[in-house]
Structure 1
Amino acid sequence: MPPVFGHVGTYRPGDTFHNRIELAFSGVHRPRRAGVCGTRALVAESIVLAGQYEDDEFGEPEIRYSGNGGRDPKTGRQVTGQLAVGTNLALLKSQETGRPVRVPGKVPGEYGPDVYRYEGLCRVVEARFGPGKSGYNVLSFASGRFCS
């Protein structure tokens, strides 16, 4: 499937998906495990707000999303610093170009397990590199809440 920037098909904010596989098949966020979909050449298409990194902050009026890398998958804690490579470069390129990024987020299901809700589009407006909660250098990306 070629990259799509902006909304995909008829999916709009508020639409829900039962799991990451359904989310991937929809095209709203294509990777089944990775939190960022994109390449440094093409910028980021989407990010998933799943709270996997200890330095993530998902609130009003902004999202602060940690870059990829250095996280222990068992504890969720940062165990090494991050580098400006791979999808971290895609997020930096998104800031540079101003292209919108799709944002689904993990939320409690209405009648059971967590689901993924499409929150909408945002723009990366800031990138920082510095010590995170565990003392390791972390790339951190901020966006204004949602632009549509």
Structure 2
Amino acid sequence: MNQPVFGHVGSYRPGDTFRNRIELAFSGLHRPRRAGVCGTQQLGAESIVLAGQYEDDVFDEDEIRYAGNGGRDAKSGHQLTDQVAVGTNLALLKSQETGQPVRVLRKVPAEDGGADVYRYEGLYQIVDSSYGPGKSGFNVFVFRLRPII
């Protein structure tokens, strides 16, 4: 198993794009091929991917609001149940506690109009979190991330 890396990986820098999740995994920027969070509850989150799957995710230039994991209908993206403090949600809470950087990747339209790509947005820090009703009325974790300049 690869050792966790908190911060930039290799020579990859913000703006670099990847055709799919397999390329992301091979690059080491985000190793899981499906999960949106790479990390453990003991060490924290190394990276996250915003892929438009959670209705409570918001990406702004100054701040990201990233919904935690769980309780979502895979087809519609709507919450069906409350999220719970387990697994990757605990990894994100640990990163908030430690202040370690989190790599952020985002699914975006390709510049050439082809298939969507994954773009490395850079390093962010989790500055706050909340737990309460989301858009569908179920309790969700929302993590606030700000870019590290």
Q: Which runs of 5+ in 2 are unaligned?
A: none
Q: Distance in 1 between matches of 2:31 and 2:49?
A: 10
Identity %: 73
Q: CA deviation at 1:43?
A: 0.3
What residue number does 1:7 align with?
A: 8
Q: Of residues 91, 98, 120 in structure 2, which corresponds to 1:118?
A: 120
What residue number does 2:69 align with?
A: 68
Q: CA deviation at 1:51?
A: 1.4
Q: Which runs of 5+ in 1 are unaligned?
A: none
Q: CA deviation at 1:68?
A: 0.3
What residue number does 2:99 align with?
A: 98
Q: CA deviation at 1:60?
A: 2.7
- Asked if 1:138 is matched to 2:140, the reply is yes
1:25-104 maps to which residues of 2 (within 5 A)?
Answer: 25-104=26-105
Q: Secondary structure at the match of 2:26?
A: helix
Q: Distance in 1 between matches of 2:97 and 2:39?
A: 14
Residue by residue over 1:106-129, the C-alpha shift from the partner in whole angstroms, topping out at 9 and shown as x without a partner, is 110012110001010000000100
Structure 2 counterpart of 1:132, which letter?
A: G
Q: Distance in 1 between matches of 2:119 and 2:76?
A: 25
- TM-score between both structures, scaled by the size of structure 2: 0.97
Q: After TM superposition, which residue ranges in structure 1, 4 or more long, deviate above 6 angstroms?
A: none
Q: CA deviation at 1:61?
A: 1.4
Q: Secondary structure at the match of 1:118?
A: strand
